[in-house]
């Protein structure tokens, strides 16, 4: 029987690369993003336009497949405007947290209650190196990703009895729409030695790690965060 994966943020970047990875490996995929039209045409891809910050859209996505084998939480936003934390607005904070943390948490809750009926499954959250790296001009993003790391641990703990493993991938500097506006900044930092592996990450690098965690190859790993960041996390002198 064909396995089913549910993937948010499915229309571009890391989400789209992850959709393609699972399709290439024989999965039926249900994807959601806020974009109106499906990013690809594939008989095994079911695209649902929606916003995970809205409960009705979360329920629409999770109710679509009969069974969920894999959930990958990719959907995330940066602040619409980068502002120092001394000037951050409540509107910006709510916008980022409603999608990155609240929406992801309650979508995972819905999926987990469906997955536990089968006593098996995989959940992978896409967090960020911003989980532990301070960026004072986008504090709401950092806070949301730090919270998401605890969401990973909580669900890993709670769902272990149902044979559902929950892990997390922490991307580094990845070439996506979100980072396009700061390309020159990171080009220079990478050239100056910020990363041991001196290149931008690709969405496919993240998709490969997600699939490794969700393919059954690592059944005794849960509550873990894997850095896919070119070595950014290494403390160096």
Q: What rounded mean pLDDT belongs to the chain?
A: 97
Q: What is the pLDDT of residue 178?
A: 81
Mean pLDDT of 127-145: 97
Residue 141 has pLDDT above 90, yes or no: yes
Residues in contact with 51: Cβ distance below 8 Å, sequence separation at least 6, in sequence order: 34, 57, 99, 103
Backbone angles phi, psi at 41, to 5 degrees: -105, 115
DSSP 186-230: HHHHHHTTSSSS-S-B-HHHHHHHHHHHHSSS-TT--S-EEEEST
Pairwise CA distance, residues 183 & 166, whole Å = 32
Which pLDDT score is estimated for 237?
85
Residue 72 to residue 126: CA distance in whole angstroms: 8
Phi, psi for 122 (deg, rounded to 5): -135, 135
pLDDT score, position 148: 98
52 forms beta bridges with none
Domain 4-228: CATH superfamily, name plus number: NAD(P)-binding Rossmann-like Domain (3.40.50.720)
* pLDDT tens-digit map of 82-130: 999 999 999 999 999 999 999 999 999 999 999 999 999 999 999 999 9
Contacts of 135 by beta carbon, 8 Å cutoff, 6+ apart: 141, 142
By annotation, the residues acting in catalysis are 141
Claim: this prediction has a pTM higher than 0.85: yes
Taking each helix axis from N to C end, the angle separating 139-159 and 104-115, rounded to the nearest 10 degrees, works out to 10
């Amino acid at each position: 029987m064909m396995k089913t994966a549910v993937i948010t943020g499915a229309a571009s970047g890391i989400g789209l690369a992850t959709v393609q990875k699972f399709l290439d490996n024989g999965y039926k995929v249900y994807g959601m993003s806020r974009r109106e039209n499906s990013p690809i045409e594939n008989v095994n891809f079911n695209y649902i336009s929606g916003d995970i910050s809205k409960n009705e859209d979360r329920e629409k996505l999770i109710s679509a497949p009969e069974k969920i084998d894999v959930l990958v939480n990719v959907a995330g936003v940066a602040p619409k405007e980068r502002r120092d934390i001394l000037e951050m607005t409540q509107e910006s904070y709510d916008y980022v947290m409603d999608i990155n943390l609240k929406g992801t948490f309650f979508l995972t809750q819905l999926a987990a209650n469906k997955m536990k009926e089968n006593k098996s499954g995989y959940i992978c959250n896409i967090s960020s190196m911003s989980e532990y790296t301070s960026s004072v001009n986008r504090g709401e993003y950092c806070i949301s990703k730090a919270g998401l790391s605890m969401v990973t641990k909580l669900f890993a703990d709670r769902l272990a009895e149902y044979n559902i493993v929950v892990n997390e991938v922490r991307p580094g500097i990845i070439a996506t729409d979100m980072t396009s506006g700061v390309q020159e900044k990171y080009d220079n930092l990478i050239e100056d030695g910020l990363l041991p592996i001196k290149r931008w990450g690709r969405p496919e690098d993240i998709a490969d790690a997600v699939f490794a965690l969700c393919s059954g190859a690592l059944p005794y790993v849960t509550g873990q965060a894997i850095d896919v960041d070119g070595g950014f996390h290494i403390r160096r002198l």
